[in-house]
Chains A and B, each alone.
Chain A
C-alpha cells in the first residue's frame, strides 16, 4: 500500500480510491525515516506527532468529501522555509534554537492543500554549498553510495526523496541547489522562474537569485506541486503577478517539430561518460521528432565567477541581520555591542558562510565595488542576453546538469573554487532568472547523472513538458539506489 517509490500522482490515486489513508502513508514515511535516516542524515527535525495529527485531519477531510487532489500526502520541507512553531535552523548554529513565529508562503500553501509535512530536511548552511557538507548538523549521505555527497544545497531533500522516505520535498535554488542534488541523487529537480514562487518566509541567501523549487520523482509530480505553490503573493515584493497556467495540462504536448538548443560550450571539458549520457538522451528527442540545434553561449566560462561575486555580495548584506539581539544564537561573553556582534557571528556561522560573507564584503568594499560587483552585474546582463538570443531560435536549451556524477565526501572541501565549479551548468539560469529542470538520464559508474532543460522566462510549462515526455519514454527516473525495483 505504501510503496516507497509511489509518486505523488500515484499516492493521490490510491487516496482517492480509498485504497490507503493519509495516516497509513504518513506512518510508513515516518517508519522509513526512523529506519534509514541515522545513516543518511537527511532530516534535521522530524515532526512525527504533528504529521500524524495532520494526517488524521486529512483523512477526516476526505471522509467529509472536502479533500483536494493532494490532501493527505506526506512530504518534507527544506529547513530554509519558516514553519510556525517548528525549529527552522537553515542548518546553522546561528538558528539552532530558532522557532519560526510564522509560516512561509510555500509552507502555508502546501498546508492549505492538505499536504502533510513530516519534517525539515538537512542542507548546506544557509544554502551555501554544493555538497551538503557545510551543514552544522553534519553532511548528508548519497543514497546511491554513502561515501559520496548528495550534492547541495538541497541535499537532504534530494536524499530523502531518492531513498524513498518521502515522495517529494521542497528545495531552494540560488545557483543550482535544487537541480544539482537532484541530478546527483537520480531524481527530478525543478526550479521555476525567478518571481514565480513567493520567497516570503524563505530564509534569504541571495535575494535576486533565490527561488523555491521542488525535488520529486517525476516532472508530473513537480507540475502538481507547482500548481499549489506558484503565483502572486503580496508579501514578496518581487513575486510576479503573471497568471499561472495549468502545468499538468501542458505535460503531454508533443515535442515533434520543436527545437532543442544545445550549447556547444557545454561539452568542453565535460566527463566523456556524462557527455555520452547527454547525447543518448538527446537521441530520444530526435526519435520523437524534435530538432536538435547547436547554439552558442560564448560567455559561459564567466557565469560561475560572476555568480560568486553577486551571490556572496547579496549574502553579506542579507546575513548582517544575524546580530545576536532579536533572534538566533548569541555569544555569552561581550562587554560592548561591537564584541557582542563579532563573537556572536564568529561562533554562530560556519566556515563556508563566513568565507562568503568575507568575499561579499570585499567585493562591495570601497575601491573594489566597480571592479568586482558592478563588473559582475554587467556580465550578468551579458549572460542573460546570450540566453535570450538562444530563445529566439529554440524552445528550450538542454545539456548536462553537472560536470560529473556524485563526488566523494571530503573530495572538494579544501579548495572552494573546485567546489564552485560544480555549478557551471546551473548558475546561468539563476543569473537570468529562468526556469530549469534536471531529470535522471543515465548512470555513469553506477551513479545517476541528470539532463537539464532551461526555458525562457515564465515558461515553466515547456520545461516541465519536455521533462515529462522524456520520462514517458525512458525508465531512468524509476531506478532505485541499490538496484531493487
Chain B
C-alpha cells in the first residue's frame, strides 16, 4: 500500500507534528518503506495467541494512601518556558 499525502497530514495532526508541503514526499517515502516492512506480520499465524503487552506477569502494586511527596512546584517550574505566580502560561484556550 502507498501512503498518501492525506495519510501523512492526518497522522501528523494526530501526533501534533507540523509537516510542511515540502517535507511530505520524504515522509511518505520512508513511512512507505516502514509500513511495507511491518506488513510482513500479516502472514504470520497467530490464532489462539493472547496479545502480550508486557514481559512480566505482574499485577499493579498498591500502597498505603499516604502523602509521600512534598511541594516542589518552584523547583520543578524552573524547567518551564513561561510561568507566572506558579502558573504555566499558554496561549488563550477558552475565548
Chain A residues close to B by CB (< 8 Å): 98-99, 101, 193-195, 208, 234, 237-238, 240, 299, 301-302, 305-306, 308-309, 316, 320, 323-328, 330, 334-343, 345-346, 349, 354-355, 357-359, 361-363, 365, 371-372, 374-382, 384, 415-417, 420, 431-434, 457
Contact = CB atoms under 8 A, between A and B. Distances in A.
B2 interface: no
B41 A309 contact: yes
A316 B16 CA distance: 11
Contacts of A316: 15
B54 A361 contact: no
Nearest to B50: A381
Contact of B46 (A308, A335, A379): A379
Nearest to B40: A305
Contacts of A337: 90-91, 93
A362 to B, nearest CB: 5
Nearest to A343: B18
A324 B75 CA distance: 17
Given A379-B44, A416-B33, A374 B88 contact: no
A431 B17 CA distance: 28
B17, B40, B53, B61 interface centre (most CB from chain A within 10 Å):
B17
Interface in B47-70: 49-56, 58, 60-61, 63
Nearest to B79: A327
A362 B17 contact: no
Nearest to A342: B18
Given A98-B79, A302-B44, A457 B16 contact: no
Contact of B50 (A375, A378, A457): A378
Contacts of A415: 33
Nearest to A371: B42
Contact of A238 (B44, B50, B58, B91): B58
Interface of B: 7-8, 10-12, 14-19, 27, 30-31, 33-38, 40-42, 44, 46, 49-56, 58, 60-61, 63, 72, 75-76, 78-82, 88, 90-93
29 contacts: A99-B79, A194-B55, A195-B55, A208-B55, A240-B56, A240-B58, A302-B41, A308-B38, A320-B16, A336-B91, A337-B91, A338-B16, A340-B90, A342-B16, A345-B17, A354-B17, A355-B30, A355-B31, A358-B11, A358-B12, A359-B34, A362-B35, A371-B42, A375-B42, A379-B41, A379-B46, A381-B52, A384-B55, A417-B34
A327 B77 CA distance: 8
A330 B81 contact: yes
B34 A325 contact: no
Nearest to B92: A336
A305 B37 contact: yes
A237 B60 contact: yes
B30 A416 contact: yes
A302 B40 contact: yes
Contact of A305 (B11, B15, B38): B38
Given A378-B50, A378-B51, A378-B52, A308 B81 contact: no
A329 to B, nearest CB: 8
A453 B14 CA distance: 40
Contacts of B79: 98-99, 101, 326-328
Contact of A417 (B37, B42, B63): B37
A382 B79 CA distance: 43
A336 to B, nearest CB: 5
A375 B90 contact: no
Closest A-B pairs by Cβ, 4 of them:
A433-B55, A377-B51, A330-B81, A327-B79
A101 B78 contact: yes
Given A327-B79, A375-B41, 15 more contacts: A240-B58, A301-B40, A305-B38, A306-B41, A308-B37, A316-B15, A325-B90, A335-B91, A343-B18, A355-B27, A362-B35, A365-B14, A416-B33, A417-B33, A420-B34
A365 B30 CA distance: 18
B41 A305 contact: yes
A238 to B, nearest CB: 7
B31 A359 contact: yes
Contact of A357 (B10, B15, B33, B61): B15
Given A377-B53, A384-B55, A362 B31 contact: yes
Contacts of A326: 76, 79-80, 88
Nearest to B8: A358
A346 B17 CA distance: 5
A35 B57 CA distance: 48
B34 A361 contact: no
Nearest to B46: A378
B41 A361 contact: no
A362 B17 CA distance: 13
Nearest to A377: B51
